[in-house]
């Protein structure tokens, strides 16, 4: 079992939890509704990446362990719901761990399919953020990438670090962990200090 596989399974579980919590916060769904949002949040970005790259079958179709990770995430979100909701930063943390893991997994997969490193970085970002975008649309929220918050940019930074470390021959597992850690650190610092990129237009 490789570090890539472990990160992808963990990222799937984290996104499933964040999706189920977001669904309950907005719509108070039944088990099917919460599971559906958890599912879409978990596989949306990776599925879009694989479709764009022409990689079939899609990961979650080929490996049912991803389905198990989604179901376990939804169950954990339900069992520990009151505890998780009381911890207001939990949703943010699950989402942050999810995007960190999915970014690096997506970047490496794109590289393995022979695309240009720049495209690989974009595919890594897509893997991380698009599931959350679909989740936000389905729960009638403005997608987080459109808000005044460093989100997709953190993913790109982690993807670029991965590409640089890969180019200089950094050991694969160390590269995975360091690049994912950079995304987590950037997100936490940005949220704690309310950092954001400059506005597109000046008011």
* CA end-to-end span of the chain: 52
103-138 pLDDT, tens per residue?
A: 999 999 999 999 999 999 999 999 999 998 998 888
Q: Please state, as a whole number, how many other Cβ atoms lie within 10 Å of the Cβ of residue 115.
A: 16
pTM for this entry: 0.85
Q: What ranges do the domains of the chain cover?
A: 3-192
Give 97: exposed, middle or buried? Use CB within 10 Å, 0-12, 13-18, 19+: buried
61-94 pLDDT, tens per residue?
A: 989 999 999 999 999 988 888 787 766 566 677 7
């Amino acid at each position: 079992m490789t570090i890539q596989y472990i990160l992808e399974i963990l990222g799937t579980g984290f996104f499933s939890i964040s999706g189920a919590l977001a669904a309950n916060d907005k719509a108070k769904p039944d088990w099917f509704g919460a599971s559906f949002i958890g599912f879409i949040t978990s596989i949306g970005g990776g599925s879009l990446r694989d479709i764009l790259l022409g990689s079939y079958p899609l990961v979650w179709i080929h490996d049912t362990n991803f389905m198990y990770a989604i179901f376990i995430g939804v169950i954990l979100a339900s069992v520990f719901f009151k505890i998780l909701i009381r911890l207001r930063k939990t949703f943010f943390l699950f989402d942050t761990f999810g995007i960190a893991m999915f970014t690096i997994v997506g970047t490496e997969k794109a590289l393995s399919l022979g695309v240009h490193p720049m495209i690989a970085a974009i595919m890594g970002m897509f893997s991380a953020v698009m599931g959350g975008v679909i989740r936000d649309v389905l729960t009638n929220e403005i997608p987080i990438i459109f808000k005044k918050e460093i989100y997709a940019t953190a993913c790109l930074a982690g993807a670029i670090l991965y590409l640089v470390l890969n180019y200089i021959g950094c050991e694969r597992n160390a590269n995975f962990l360091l690049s994912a850690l950079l995304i987590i650190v950037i997100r936490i610092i940005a949220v704690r200090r309310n950092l954001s990129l400059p506005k597109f237009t000046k008011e």
